[in-house]
Amino acid sequence: MNFDLKTLSPAQAAEFPADALLVLVPDALPKGQSPLHALVARALKDDDLEGGVSKSLACYRPEGIKAPRVLLVRAGTADAAALRKAVGAGVAQLKAPGVTRLAVVLSLVAVDADGLRAAVQACADASYVYTTTKPSAKPRALAKVTFGVSDAGAVRSGFQAGKAVVAGVEFAKEWANRPANHATPSRLADAARQLGRLPGIKTEVLGPREVEALGMGSFMAVAQGSAEPLRFIVLRYQGAGKADAPVVLVGKGITFDTGGISLKPAAEMDEMKFDMGGAASVLGTFAALAEAKPALNVVGLIPSCENMPDGRAIKPGDVVKSMSGQTIEILNTDAEGRLILCDALTYAARFKPRAVVDIATLTGACVIALGAVRSGLFSARDELAQALAEAGEQSGDLCWRLPLDDDYAEGLKSNFADVANVAGRAGGAITAAKFLQRFATELPWAHLDIAGTAWRGGAAKGATGRPVPLLLQYLLNEAARPAGQAKAKAKASAKARSASR
Ligand code: BES
Ligand code: MN
Ligand code: ZN
């Protein structure tokens, strides 16, 4: 899909050659003389556009307007959230084989950069179609979308960011949606190598021999029940000086989670193909970085394997040794995500990162706690937690911070190893995070549990591409921060902490 940004007055929009116009209508219609004004004013006067955001009115060949189809959609106050909703609803309604060239007319509303970015994202989201393993699917009809605004120059940054997010989200959706037999660890590595051909990105892929040499006994333990060989993917985006400390993103890449010997029940087990949603979001974020080109260094780490029951599979009670040296008693083989992530977190330390963020479809408990609206956010570093939470609000890709009190780690005690991989059922998202935290004690670390947000179930089953928008926003914000500020702030907050003791 091709996006374009144009300065377009309402009068020019009426003349614009397209298969359809999607016209966003604000609560307070500005005065004007164009045929578009006349149409909207009439519809409002006749009470045909009454209702909240997303209320719409479809018009066919209205007078004085060149495009044959005109869809009026209420956009309320036209803030980013309202535009996301209204554009999404409008584009979904305009899904038709005859609509390949669309103009989204934002000239009647006051749109800022964040609002335009939201509109671009919503347009892509609403027109996305997965086709890879479904030859009968009708591919996306939309080929060209022009965003018409009153001043293109004023919102160009939002447009660019929007295009980058869309590239990232669509890359993430594609890989997360692919069935597990089409998205094996080796195929994920191929996708990462494909990204390695983009400007600024380098990819390295480690296999079982290298992973063994590194001592990643916990990651290897999960992989040992599968016929598919594991992969450890290392991506690097260099947008700043070589010596600049990178942000490290770690994505859980379980390409299928049967639970292993602690086998999952049959219902909805197919959805465990999405258990590499964290990995997909890391890949997608790198696709977005190649477009947005921020002045920042980023490393992506993806431990990837299947979790299968087998004669060679790990058994409840097995004790394995992680790369950190800590031994782990595997009481439940279905708590495998933390077992592969812990070794990746140990590996992350070698980059001397300014921040490490892991992203994982980690716990059903997080789905119970936060549902599908917000991802779970965990960090002992207030500044990092705040930066991620803010990036979430800014991009509309929300998260919510949950606690990390040490008392939550009580249940992880083991009589046979340094730590057990599960505690009781209570606070399951938090105890999982407490497990991970043991492997990140020296790191400025945060954890995003995306079990509830990475995909939708039911009739609209499919990957969401989350949290690519949050991650890209966080990275863009980091890049925009004056150099040295990160360190100075960390020092100041360390001082404040020791003073308060
Ligand atoms: N991949 C699952 C988490 C999950 C479950 C995500 C359902 C989305 C929907 C993870 O590997 C898992 O199985 N976690 C267990 C942990 C438990 C055994 C402590 C869970 O949440 O049930
Ligand atoms: Mn599991
Ligand atoms: Zn899992």
69-74 β-sheet, strand order: 2-7, 144-149, 101-105, 20-25, 69-74, 56-60
Annotated catalytic, 312? no
Q: Which of 363, 435, 449 to mutate to test the pocket of ligand 1 (most atoms within 8 A of CB)?
A: 363
Characterise 200 by phi-psi region: left (phi > 0), alpha (psi -120 to 50), beta (else): left
pLDDT band at 492 (very low <50, low <70, confident <90, very high): low
pLDDT at residue 238 above 80?
Answer: yes
Q: How much is the pTM?
A: 0.96
Ligand nearest to the CA of 453: 1
Query: Is any atom of ligand 1 closer than 6 Å to the C-beta of 335?
Result: yes
pLDDT confidence bin for 108, thresholds 50/70/90: very high
338: annotated active-site residue? yes
List beta partners, residue 20.
Answer: 69, 102
Closest-lying ligand 1 atom to the alpha carbon of residue 365: 21
Q: Given the CA of residue 423, which atom of ligand 1 is nearest to it?
A: 19
What are the distances in angstroms from CA 297 to CA 105, 237, 293, 381? 37, 6, 10, 21
CB-CB contact of 429 with 366 (8 Å) = yes
Nearest to 327 by CA among 212, 446, 215: 215
Catalytic entry in 101, 236, 264, 401: 264
Note the pLDDT tens digit of each residue in 184-230: 999 999 999 999 999 999 999 999 999 999 999 999 999 999 999 99
For the four alpha carbons of 105, 111, 113 and 118, in that order, the dihedral sign comes to negative
Does ligand 1 lie within 6 Å of residue 367's CB atom? yes
Position 500 scores a pLDDT of 44
Residue burial 251-278, b: 16+ Cβ < 10 Å; e: rest: bbbbbbbbbbbbebeeeeeeebbbbbbb
How far is it, in rounded angstroms, from Cα 418 to Cα 412? 9
- Choosing from 231, 338, 354, 466, the catalytic residue is 338
List phi, psi (to 5°) of 477: -65, -40
pLDDT computed for residue 127 by the predictor = 97
Q: Please give the average per-residue pLDDT across 418-427, as a whole number.
A: 98
Q: Is the peptide bond before 467 cis (omega within 30 degrees of 0)?
A: yes
Task: Indicate if ligand 1 lies below 6 Å from the C-beta of 364.
Answer: yes
Q: Which atom of ligand 1 is nearest to the CA of 452?
A: 8
